[in-house]
Amino acid sequence: MRGLHADTGYLLYRLGLRSGQLFNACLQESGLRLRHYAVLRFLATAEGALQRELSTRLGYDPSAIVGLVDDLEKQGFAERRPSPDDRRSRIVVLTESGRAFLRDTDEAGLRVTNELLGPLEEAEREALHALLLRIAEDGLN
């Protein structure tokens, strides 16, 4: 029987868990978690998004998105606005406070990445990122 560390999928799973644990620890003081951060980071690249678009793009259950956006609104990091295309729909937009929060967490994210990738040289980090990006573009869409 081959060991778990011979299984690339398992290693990716374990490293993903560890990355999430480390990042959640950095976010703990704010009361937010990695899932909130993902919503904010997505909104930072968009002019706003419908909740169903957030669900689809992030791979979260629609009911989870409602709670995440509620939390972000309470913090003042995001807000729901009427959609210009459909008055029945609301778009979620990043606030200036949300942008500031993302800037403040960039350093924490870099620390987490550096801790996880500490054993790798810079060129190896870049190669790993390129490979993961290629897999993600094909496998997560």
For 122-140, the pLDDT digits (tens) are 999 999 999 999 998 886 7
CATH fold for the domain made of 4-140: Arc Repressor Mutant, subunit A (1.10.10)
Sorted by where each begins, the domain ranges of the chain are 4-140
Phi and psi based region of residue 115 (left: phi greater than 0; alpha: psi -120 to 50; beta: remaining):
alpha
pTM, two decimal places: 0.84
pLDDT digits (tens, 9 = 90+) for 98-131: 999 999 898 888 888 999 999 999 999 999 999 9
- Tell which residue, 16, 24, 26, 53, has the closest CA to residue 132: 16
